[in-house]
């Protein structure tokens, strides 16, 4: 998902440099959304992994 965000960011920057500011801004907005969604998914999976690790540790003790 981060790869998509970087792709949209680069396309948005190129479009803005070529004079298509409205379309470039749209692509950069999509990149921001994808970036924050990726961070949210990362945090959720990190917390789930920590919870699962504690469950395994408690089962082994």
Indicate if the pLDDT at residue 58 is higher than 90: no
Q: Give CA–CA dist 55/48, Å, rounded.
A: 11
- Whether 45 and 26 have beta carbons less than 8 Å apart is answered as no
3-55 tens-digit pLDDT:
999 999 999 999 999 999 899 999 999 999 999 999 999 999 999 988 887 76
Enumerate the domain spans of the chain.
2-60
């Amino acid at each position: 998902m981060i790869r998509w965000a970087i792709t949209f960011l680069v396309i948005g920057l190129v479009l803005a440099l070529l004079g298509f500011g409205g379309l470039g801004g749209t692509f950069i907005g999509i990149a921001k959304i994808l970036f924050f969604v990726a961070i949210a998914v990362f945090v959720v999976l990190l917390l789930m992994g920590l919870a699962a690790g504690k469950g395994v540790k408690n089962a082994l003790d």
